Structure 1
Amino acid sequence: MSYTDASMNALRLPGDELADAVVATLFERGEVGKFNTLMRYVSTVGAPLPDGLPDVARDYLQATSTPPDWVDWGEMEKARLFFIDNNVHISTALSFASMPACYVVPHVAKLLSMAHGLNYPSKRMAETGQFTVYLMQPDAFEAGSRFIPAAQKVRLLHASIRHHLKRESGWDTAALGTPICQEDMIGGQMFFSLLVLDSLHRLNIHMSTEGAEAYYYAWRVVGAMLGVDQDASPASPEEAREFLDLYMIRHMAPSEEGAHLTRQLVDLYEEVVPGTFFDPIVSALIRYLIGDTCADWLQVPRTAWDNVAKVVPTLLGVLEGIEDHSPFGAWALDRLGHLTTVFELSTLTRGRVMHYAIPEQLKKDFGVGGNVPRTHRWAPPAPTVAP
């Protein structure tokens, strides 16, 4: 598939027809509060739906209760093993590359600032981290798992934001497109898949081609479950590179909202880092992973630690070498990565389960690899030339 400005423009109007219709009906009938209350009891696959659930919501939950019929379960298992092998690095990439990349797209930063609850990065990061952990569990698509209900709720959350913003004066659809349109949903999918792999490569993490491609595939499955049009979504990392390069060229720019959200993100992780001496490493890692131009647009402060961040890939390369050649070292590092990820997620969630409820109003200010050998290491697709 080839992407052009014309084909990307065509993706700026469509949202998610199924989820949008459900949310519109819930608001029209005044059933959003009732839906949110009852959905707190729907958190695992196979659990009986509660009595009193609005019919339109019940139909939606039944229609979206299974993954796409084209899923390759062998690839999904490879993705899970890749996540186990690289969980702490993936968390680092999500925190210090994927989220800032969202903020460097002005209309996305504006949307995140306007959406009630998403103004707080701890909640946003907790939801993202919890969602990823649910996805990479061995029973993610089996009875008792939490991933599918989480995906169903996130899809409705996105539809509710579209519902609010399209009906309020704070969002210019003619200029900005439909809120969380297909182009932005695919862009988000790229931030959480290809950009994560790019960041791991930049950090000198040893990845097999099989593991990296499986991780990208898993996020294709996620995209389908979140309402992404699969006819428009990149099928391979090579197509993803073409889409992401053009998407960023089309949209990336400085914005007040992007700088504000980045400042909140930096403050959040400086609180997580013990003491204050190591605080500057947060800004330094963001700057290293997204580059000076984007970091300057987001007003990421320059510090003496910027040079320290450049040494991180060398240190990680040493640890990766130990993991490659020592079974005990691999086990110890995987265990340490797991514990670090659990600690980070528990700090962000404060031990709570995130419920992904439909917001009834928006922010008032706006009025609105595992067992896979890591040989034939993965290399990012080459940058594409802008048309």
Structure 2
Amino acid sequence: MTPPNTQPTEAPGIRSQPSAPAADSAAPSPRYTHAALDALRSQGDPLADETVAAMFAAGDVGDVNTLMRFFTTADQKLPPGMPSSAADYLEATRMPPDWVDWDVMERARVFFIDNAAHINTGLSFMSMPATYAIPRVARLLASTHSMDYPSRRMAETGQFVTYLMQPNAFEAGSKFLPAAQKVRLLHAAVRHHLRASDRWDEERDGVPLCQEDMLGGQIAFSLLVLDAMDRMGVHMSQEGAEAYHYAWRVIGAMLGCNTEAAPRDLTEARAYGDLYALRNLGPSDAGVRLNAQLMRMYEDVVPGTLLDPIVPATIRYLVGPTIAEWLEIPRSPFDTVAQAVPVLLGLLETVEDSSPLAEWALDKAGHLLTRFELGALTRGRVMQYAIPEELKSEYGVRSHAARNQRWTPPPPTSVG
């Protein structure tokens, strides 16, 4: 497949905003240069990497996975027999960062409650496909057995975000904290396997699941989701959008991201995302296969086949034509329908802003839709985050006062 452009003119989170003239484009952040991202590409997550290396060296991985199935809530006593390497790691990572602003986190939780269905749509139809347009990341994802079943990754992501947005997410009894600890180890295990194999060119691609890509993922799940919501016509305040991004900064820190390098606000997130995309976006066979699996999974969740074409149409509309071509997303008559979504959602948002009853009804409908989506993906099961003992042998695959405000996405930066 020959992409329409060698460098993307449209991409999630970096597309030119029609309302922002070129003269208003923000200058690139001095924090983010090619040299800075080159350095991040050579970094992993030392704490988690050392823990995983010790577990594999001692042959403890199977036992740890078994024991960690019973470790599901914060402040729960560790199961007897937990190897010291895992126990030390769990103790070192059991608390959130000491710099967390809890008022902002509460605003993020309210933002999530108000926009749960829209956030899930952004995650599902923009963030996930966008990661497949990074060839290096697509190859890495294709190396894991779980990507034979994209519903599992979607279910794990949805469950993880749902845990985060509970009122007790960082308190005793929280399910989020143990989930974050396990996901961080899972990432380190993938890194461990690929570095030990002959299937990863570290000189060309850097450390597997490097800091550059970890921060890129943080952008995908924060700024790109907000971009998707904006493109769908969802009303949101600047305060709410910044709080949502801040929550992902906290998540990133707990998953081992370099907090010094992480974007501090949405303007810096745009600068990082633009440069990251310029360096890394492109077509790949792995990306095409992964996205095809993802679309089939979405189509299976929706009863019948009549509305199946809306899946590729929605993804194509949100990610833009360049990435859509790279991922070989088929065109359909529903492409035009997808472009009308912002008008419909804009009308619904206007009704919601003007009526407390309509606001309650639409929030309730969004909550039920979110529960349905997660239930369909998990089939009622709790998803376990296990450390992979091996990889695939081949790469196969409201604040209510602000409801009527409209967040304006940061303009694209000038990168080169």
Pick the TM interval, shorter chain: over 0.9
Match of 1:222 in 2: 251
Q: Which amino acid aligns with 2:99?
A: W
Offset of residue 366 of structure 1: 4.4
Distance (whole Å) between structure 1 residues aligned to residue 382 and residue 388 of structure 2 = 17
Is structure 2 residue 64 aligned with structure 1 residue 28? Answer: no
Q: Deviations over 1:38-57 (max 9, x none)?
A: 00001111111110000111
Deviations 1:73-109 (A, max 9, x none): 0000000000000000000000000001100000000
Q: What is the alpha-carbon distance in structure 2 between the residues aligned to residue 354 and residue 168 of structure 1?
A: 28
The whole-number CA distance in structure 2 between the counterparts of 1:375 and 1:187 is: 30
2:235–2:405 Cα contact (<8 Å) kept: no
* Aligned-residue RMSD, C-alpha: 1.1
In 2, Cα distance between the equivalents of 1:239 and 1:366? 34
1:72 counterpart (91, 95, 101): 101
Mapped contact 2:64–2:83 kept (Cα < 8 A): yes
Per the alignment, residue 130 of structure 2 pairs with 101
Identity in percent: 59
Q: What residue number does 1:178 align with?
A: 207
What is the match of residue 278 of structure 2? 249
| TM-score after normalising by structure 2 | 0.91
Q: Secondary structure at the match of 2:148?
A: coil
42, 63, 73: which one pairs with 2:71? Answer: 42
Of 302, 306, 311, 1:273 maps to 302
Residue 335 (1) aligns with residue 335 (2): no
TM-score by length of 1: 0.98
**1:12 matched residue in structure 2:** 41
- 1:374 shift after superposition: 2.1
Q: CA deviation at 1:372?
A: 4.9
- C-alpha separation between the residues in 1 aligned to 2:193 and 2:321? 35
Match of 1:297 in 2: 326
Within 2, Cα distance between the matches of 1:294 and 1:183? 20
User: Contact 1:140–1:148 (CA<8 Å) still a contact in 2?
Assistant: yes
Whether the 8 Å contact between 1:81 and 1:371 is mirrored in structure 2 is: no
**1:112-138 Cα shifts (integer Å, max 9, x gaps):** 001121332101101110001111111
In the alignment, the residues of structure 2 paired with residue 295 and residue 197 of structure 1 have an alpha-carbon distance, to the nearest angstrom, of 19
- The CA distance in 2 between the partners of 1:251 and 1:365, in whole Å, is 23
Large movers: runs of 4+ above 4 Å: none
Of 80, 89, 101, the match for 1:51: 80
Shift of 1:384: 0.4
- Offset of 1:64 from its aligned partner? 0.6
Instruction: Give the alignment partner of residue 134 of structure 1, picking from 140, 153, 163.
Output: 163
**Corresponding residue SS for 1:10:** helix
- Cα separation, 1, equivalents of 2:145 and 2:152: 11
Q: Does 1:212 align with 2:241?
A: yes
Give yes or no for contact 1:284–1:305 (8 Å, CA) kept in 2.
yes
Deviation digits for residues 227-250 of structure 1, max 9, x if unmatched? 001111110100000000010110
- Which sections of structure 1, spanning at least 5 residues, go unmatched? none
Q: Which amino acid aligns with 2:56?
A: F
User: Per the alignment, do residues 245 and 362 of structure 1 end up closer, same or farther by CA in structure 2, a change over 3 Å counting?
Assistant: same
Question: Is it true that 1:358 corresponds to 2:387 in the alignment?
Answer: yes
Q: Deviation at 1:375? A: 4.1
Q: Which amino acid aligns with 2:279?
A: R
Question: 1:370, CA displacement in angstroms?
Answer: 4.9
Taking the aligned partners of 2:31 and 2:58, their CA distance within structure 1 comes to: 42
Tell me, what secondary structure is at the counterpart of 1:279? coil
Q: SS of the residue aligned with 2:409?
A: coil
Partner of 2:182: 153
Deviates more, 1:26-35 or 1:113-122: 113-122
2:348 to 299, 319, 333: 319
The residue aligned with 2:145 is: 116
Report the alpha carbon displacement of residue 364 of structure 1 after superposing the two structures with TM: 2.2
> Whole-Å Cα distance in 1 between the matches of residues 261 and 31 of structure 2?
10
Partners of 2:395 and 2:102 lie apart in 1 by: 44
Give the secondary structure class of the aligned counterpart of 2:146. coil
Where in structure 2 are there 5+ consecutive unaligned residues?
1-29
